[in-house]
Every structure is written in structure tokens, then in C-alpha cells.
Amino acid sequence: MTATHCPYCALQCGITLEPSTQAEASEPVSLKGRDFETNGGALCRKGYSAATLLDHPERLQTPLLRQADGSLAPIGWEQALDLVADKARSIRAESGADALAVFGSGSLTNEKAYQLGKFARLALGTSRIDYNGRFCMSSAAAGTNRAFGLDRGLPFPLADLDEAGMILLLGSNVADTMPPFVRHLAGARENGGLVVVDPRRSATAKLCEDNAGWHLQPTPATDLPLLLGLAHVLVAESLADTGYLAARANGFDAVKASLVSWWPERTAQVTGVPAEQIRRTARALAQAASEAKAGGKPVYILTGRGIEQHANGTDTVTAAINLALLLGLPGTMAGGYGTITGQGNGQGGREHGQKCDQLPGYRKITDPEHRAQVARVWGVEPEIIPGPGLPAVELLEALGTPTGPRMMMIHGANPVISAPDASKVSRALASLDFLVVCDFFLSETAAQADLMLPVLQWAEEEGSMTNLEGRILRRRAALEAPGNARSELWILSQLAQRLDAPGRFSPAPREVFEELKEASAGGLADYSGVRWDDLDAGAAIYWPCPAGTEVRAEPGIRNGTPRLFLDGFAHADRRAVLVPVAFQPAPRKNTSATVSLVTGRLLEHYQSGAQTRRVAELAQAAPEPLLEIHPATALSHQIAQGQKVVISNERGEVTARALLTADARLDTVFLPFHYPGSGTANLLTEAKVDPHSRMPEFKHAHVSLNAVEEEQ
Ligand code: SF4
């Protein structure tokens, strides 16, 4: 029996795998939920069915090379690896190292994320590496870094939420995206203290009904002014915790001044949330926070991609943190602020050097001291580590331009579906001289590759992951890889040899983990005290965990730093920072596009759907994109239930069938982003990015709707 974790989201639910004993078993292993702290043995539909992909008939098992006639033909590993190295060398000789690019993923293990950053900088010599986590956690990371000096999704164990008296949950539909999370909302619900902010009456918003709390339903893209309005009430009614602010935070006066114009009636005009609901929410938060500090139940403010995936995502996160600081919560046992990480290793994936501006351990690539520390571990001179590269959207936009990359290696990402303005991304990839994709299925991005390299799936590999709480977990192998699939660590090690890279590129996960620990030592995300054997023994270890930390693998014992900031924030003066932020409504470019579009996820599918669309049970349950639309809006557009609708704007058009539901706002439609071809929601989203995080505008676009007449 192998104890490991679900391959999909950042909840990293515990599972066990056992070899299937029945000859007619449809999967090579049987998968069960395991009693782990995040999931208590429960799994969602995606997790339960994950093993069906391990021996899926479409699994790629040998390298595939694009032929002159456009087809993909099998080749051997030696030929494939030689070809990648030859192409990289010749393009680098002609156009410089920055003509080579790497695109990573928040689904890679810590070891793969670390090795990929090192490979890009030392073996390819390029600055141009970034990853799909830019589309996921970047605004939350930028907001928490500037407020607290450190970015860890939840700065407290998830189980702390169980005791909450009140939770303000903004822009996260956990009831669909990570259902086992809902158990951690039970305390707040029982207390009548769950408040959900979402333009949709989502499955999570419905949890607030029956006196469990209440739902605020703002106009899309107005979360920032709503947060400013809530903060205004705290200040105007003298409900802010001025004692806490004086002792633990800077910037209160500037934020106070910035809130003056956000009185509830004005906020209501901008957001559509009634003024009395704004007052009620702010007063309830203040009351609950005051009770928490007197020994009552804690209070939390949590955010998700709904408010973060905007071109003002960092400022919106900042407004949420300002609210938490005004309540006097972060860095106390009375509650705090956290963001709910999305991808499986969305946390670890952003700590170990895949980001264009970071080195392992959350070190800055522009800081000479940080560069020197990492160079010492890598056994190179600091000067050979390139400087900062381009964030994901800019990197994809640069492909094929005169000074942009000519070759790209993509690992575990499917930007043809998941990046904004997707048709542009597809054209940019097509303009490359050479595209290499490492994946285990022929995803929509892999289908454009010149060379496809088949890699291992989760149940075939060893490694570590870091979940949404900053807890480091072991991923374990239960099976041999099929056919000729190989680990990415092996591929990178082979390529590094062929490219005469300096330093060592081990193919062994445990060896890479030991090196990663050393590279992170003294950094913000310090793993140097985490021992592989302790992880194997089930120790609960949260970073930072510096060398010499005593670790005990006993139930109920939390090691490392389960709760951050209790004795000070990570800024040099140990104080948090409130940052004033302003709301600028985005100008509408296309006046004929009158309906707001919100994109998001479904219970049945994960991210670009490249995996879950191949699980028969999930594909049958949600086979195609459905456009959620209010019946009155549908009527005004002459759209009937189930009718095909063309959703369009200046970037493209998408076709989906209408699902009439009173859960939608009158001015807003919802489209899931898991589907390919004419159902690709990101054909409509804009590549405009946040100035701080470079997060694109995923969650709001203006569109036109046109019913399609279908022949009977
Ligand atoms: Fe758990 Fe997420 Fe996997 Fe569902 S997808 S079983 S919530 S880890």
C-alpha cells in the first residue's frame, strides 16, 4: 500500500494506492481517500477517478517528432535528446541564450521546479523562464509580499479554520473546486458567520443559506471597491483595532485617508451590493474580531482567484489584507488573512526558482547576496546566472518576435487553453523554430510541438510537494512508468550533460531535494531542516524550517513554522504594511459588447482539462462548456435553454450551449475554461496584466451574445 496525495489541486488530499488484484480491474491501482488533515479521508470526484489516467490508452509512451507531412512519429530517446541539445546550441550560437525559453508549471514537484530553474539558467544560459503559476497565485504573492514581507498561501494550518466564528471568503468557489475544503468552513457556518463574496450564486455561496451566513453578489470586477467600502465602515465607525495597528503595522494614516470617499452608499453604487449589507458585514467582522481577541472564535479573511485574476489583482489582495490588518488579525491567534492556492504544487512551484525574477528559497535574482548564495550551491560564479527574465504573458507575447525566443521547452502546462487571448498564444507557439513539450498526454499545446517528450505521472514518481498551508508532503511511486516514459529529472540531467552545463544535475529526486534544501538555507522559504526520512515518517512540517529544527513525526505535532508572523512580520522592522490602493474602473473598449463574462472552474474538471477530459466519468458528467445565463438575460437575447450561443468580443468567439439559471446575475454570464477548440473560454480574455504581479485579466471581459439557429 502506498500513501501519497491526489495529483490535482493544492489541497493535496491524502490517498492510498494498492495494486489492483482483480484481473478485470479497469485501473492498475485501486485508489482510496486517506485520513489526512486537509481532507479527513474524503476526496472529490476528480480525486477518486485520478487513477484511470495511469494506463489511459492515449498515454504517451515514446518521444514523438514532427515529420515533414505534419504528423508525429515515434523516435528513440537518444535521437530526441540529441536533437534538443543540437537545436538549443545552434539557436543560442545564432541568436544568443535568450532565444531559448522555458515554461514551467505549478503542478511540478518541488524537485522538478527547482531543477527546471537551474537548467534554464545554467544549461541553457537563458533568463527566459516563467511558469503557469503566474496565471494562478502571482497577485496573491505580490500582495502578501508587500504587506507581510513573505508569501505563503495560508500562514496558518488549514485546521485552524475549523474553529472560526466568522470567515469572509472572497472569489473562491471551494464547494466545486476543492469540495473536501468545505468541512473546514463548518465552524463558521454553524456560527452563522460564513460570508461569501461572488458575482455568482455559486455552490459555495449557497452554503451561506439557511442562516449559515450571507452572500454578497457584487458586479464583476468590483471586489476592490467593495473591500474599500468595508474598510471605510471600520474606520468611520471607529471599529479599527488602533492598538494593534500602532503596535504591529505601518501605513494606517495613509490608508485611512484613502478610504474617505468610499462611504457605503457610494460603494453600493459602484458594486451593486446594498449599503446596509456593507455596513452589516463590516460591523459583524469587527464584532467577531473583538470577541476573538477576548478568547472567542477566530476570524479569517480568505481570497481566491475570483478577486486575484484581474489586472488590479495585487491591489485587490492588498485591500483584503488592509481589511484584515484594520481588524487586528494577521499574526495573532485571533485569525488572519490567507489565500487559497489552486494548483497541486502552486505553493512549492513558486518557491524554488521557476519564476523569472526568483532563485530558490524565494531569493531575488537581482540581489547580489542572494545570487552569490545560490551560485555557491550550484558551484558556479554568480556572474553566469542570468538576470530577471520575462513574466509569462510577456514571455508568450515575445515568442517569434525579432528579439524574442526562437525555441521553447514547456513542462506540465497547456497555455493554448489556459493563457489569456489564447488564439494569440497558439499563433506565437506556431512561430517558434522549435517547440518541445514534456507531458503525458497530447494536450492542445503538445499537439503543436515539434518534439513531444513523454513523462511520468504522479503515481509513478517520487518527490515532494508543498500544499496550500506551506506543509511539505511526500509524493510516492506505486507503479513503474509505462513504455518509454521518463522522469523530467532524468531528461534535464541528460540534456545538461549534452549541453556541457556546469554544476550537477542529478536524476534522483532525493538528491535534488537535498540540494534544494541547501539552496534554500537562509532564504524566506527555508527547507534546510526538512529531512526526507521525517517526511516519509509522516511528520507535519511547515516551512520555514531551518537546519537544526527538531522534528517529531507524531500525530498532532506540527513542526517548522505552522503559524507565521506570531512574533513579527517578515519585513526588516517586523511590522506589517498597510498600502493605500485606489480603484480605477477599466474603460469599455467595445460598446456593442454589453454583457460581463466571468470565467472559472467546474467540479468535474481541473485547469485546462487535459487530464480530466480524458476521464470517462468526468467527461460524461461535463462533456462541453455550458454558458450560465440568467433566464431574463437569455430572454432578452432570444436564447433558449440548451440553445447554442456564440459569445464574442474583439479577441475572438466561443460557442457554448446555454444553461439558464437564476444563480447568474442579470448582467453577467459564466463560462468554464476547461475546454478546447471553439469552446476555449480564454479566446475571449484579455492579456492586459497587473503592474505588480503581471497577472492577466482572466475574470472579466465584455462580450456579445448571439443565439445560433440550429436546423431541426
Ligand atoms: Fe482533493 Fe483537490 Fe484532489 Fe479533489 S482535486 S481530491 S479536492 S486534492
DSSP string of 189-206, one letter each residue = HHTT-EEEE-SS--HHHH
User: Atom 4 of ligand 1 has which residue's CA nearest to it?
Assistant: 44
Q: What is the position in ligand 1's atom list of the atom closest to the CA of 33?
A: 6
Residue 20's pLDDT band, with cuts at 50, 70 and 90, is confident
pLDDT at 240 over 90: yes
- 420-434, 492-506, 577-591, 677-691 — which is least confidently predicted? 577-591
Cell matching residue 135: 496565471
Q: What is the position in ligand 1's atom list of the atom closest to the CA of 45?
A: 4
User: Are 23 and 30 contacting, i.e. CB atoms less than 8 angstroms apart?
Assistant: no
pLDDT in tens, 569-593: 999 999 999 999 999 887 776 677 8
Q: Could you tell me which CATH number the domain at 595-707 has?
A: 2.40.40.20
User: Are 120 and 671 contacting, i.e. CB atoms less than 8 angstroms apart?
Assistant: no
Residue 301's pLDDT band, with cuts at 50, 70 and 90, is very high
CA dist., res. 233 & res. 273, Å (int) = 14
Its CATH architecture, for the domain 138-340, is: 3-Layer(aba) Sandwich (3.40)
38 lines ligand 1 (CB under 6 A): no
Instruction: Report the DSSP beta bridge partners of residue 654.
Output: 647
47 lines ligand 1 (CB under 6 A): yes
CA dist., res. 559 & res. 467, Å (int) = 15
43 lines ligand 1 (CB under 6 A): yes
DSSP string of 443-505, one letter each residue = -TTGGG-SEEEEB--GGG--EEEE-TTSEEEEE---SPPPTT-B-HHHHHHHHHHHTT-SS--
pLDDT at 187 over 80: yes
Q: What is the position in ligand 1's atom list of the atom closest to the CA of 39?
A: 1
User: Are 677 and 414 contacting, i.e. CB atoms less than 8 angstroms apart?
Assistant: no
- Segment 296-315 shows an average pLDDT of 95
Q: Kindly give, in sequence order, each residue whose CB lies less than 8 Å from that of residue 447, ignoring residues fewer than 6 positions away.
A: none
User: Atom 1 of ligand 1 has which residue's CA nearest to it?
Assistant: 13
- Segment 552-573 shows an average pLDDT of 97
- Segment 254-259 shows an average pLDDT of 98
Residue 23's pLDDT band, with cuts at 50, 70 and 90, is low
Instruction: Report the DSSP beta bridge partners of residue 407.
Output: 100, 434
pLDDT at 711 over 80: no
- 24-38, 174-188, 233-247 — which is least confidently predicted? 24-38
12 lines ligand 1 (CB under 6 A): yes
9 lines ligand 1 (CB under 6 A): yes
Q: Do domains 138-340 and 595-707 have the same CATH topology?
A: no
What residue ranges do the domains of the chain occupy? 2-53, 64-135+345-461+474-503, 138-340, 595-707
Query: pLDDT averaged over the chain?
Result: 95
Tell me how far the alpha carbon of residue 43 lies from the centroid of ligand 1, in angstroms. Answer: 6
* Ligand 1 mutation pick, 44, 466, 607, max ligand atoms within 8 A of CB: 44
* Ligand 1 mutation pick, 4, 5, 11, 471, max ligand atoms within 8 A of CB: 11
pLDDT in tens, 606-661: 999 999 999 999 999 999 999 999 999 999 999 999 999 999 999 999 999 999 99
- Segment 412-436 shows an average pLDDT of 96
Q: What is the position in ligand 1's atom list of the atom closest to the CA of 38?
A: 1
- Segment 177-189 shows an average pLDDT of 97
What does pTM read for this prediction?
0.96
Phi-psi category of residue 642: left, alpha or beta, with phi > 0 → left and psi -120 to 50 → alpha: left
180 lines ligand 1 (CB under 6 A): yes
pLDDT in tens, 676-693: 999 999 999 999 999 999
User: Are 148 and 576 contacting, i.e. CB atoms less than 8 angstroms apart?
Assistant: yes
46 lines ligand 1 (CB under 6 A): yes
- Segment 460-470 shows an average pLDDT of 97
pLDDT at 194 over 90: yes
174 lines ligand 1 (CB under 6 A): no
Cell matching residue 219: 458586479
Tell me how far the alpha carbon of residue 12 lies from the centroid of ligand 1, in angstroms. Answer: 6
* Ligand 1 mutation pick, 39, 52, 341, 611, max ligand atoms within 8 A of CB: 39
Instruction: Report the DSSP beta bridge partners of residue 168.
Output: 195, 301
Degrees, nearest 5: CA angle 504-505-509: 125
Q: How many helices (H) and strands (E) does the chain have?
A: 23, 31
7 lines ligand 1 (CB under 6 A): no
64-135+345-461+474-503 has which fold? Rossmann fold (3.40.50)
10 lines ligand 1 (CB under 6 A): no
264 lines ligand 1 (CB under 6 A): no
Quote the pLDDT of residue 230: 98
Quote the pLDDT of residue 22: 67
For strands 540-542 and 558-560, give the pairing.
Answer: parallel
88: part of which helix (H) or strand (E)?
A: helix 77-95
169: part of which helix (H) or strand (E)?
A: strand 166-170
DSSP string of 256-280, one letter each residue = HHHTTT--HHHHHHHH---HHHHHH
User: Atom 6 of ligand 1 has which residue's CA nearest to it?
Assistant: 47
Tell me how far the alpha carbon of residue 339 lies from the centroid of ligand 1, in angstroms. Answer: 17
Cell matching residue 459: 503515481
Q: What is the position in ligand 1's atom list of the atom closest to the CA of 344?
A: 8
50 lines ligand 1 (CB under 6 A): no
336 closest CA partner among 562, 53, 651: 562
Q: What is the position in ligand 1's atom list of the atom closest to the CA of 179?
A: 7
8 lines ligand 1 (CB under 6 A): yes
Superfamily, domain 2-53? ADC-like domains (2.20.25.90)
Q: What is the position in ligand 1's atom list of the atom closest to the CA of 177?
A: 7
* Ligand 1 mutation pick, 34, 35, 36, 43, max ligand atoms within 8 A of CB: 43
User: Atom 3 of ligand 1 has which residue's CA nearest to it?
Assistant: 47
380 closest CA partner among 477, 215, 496: 496
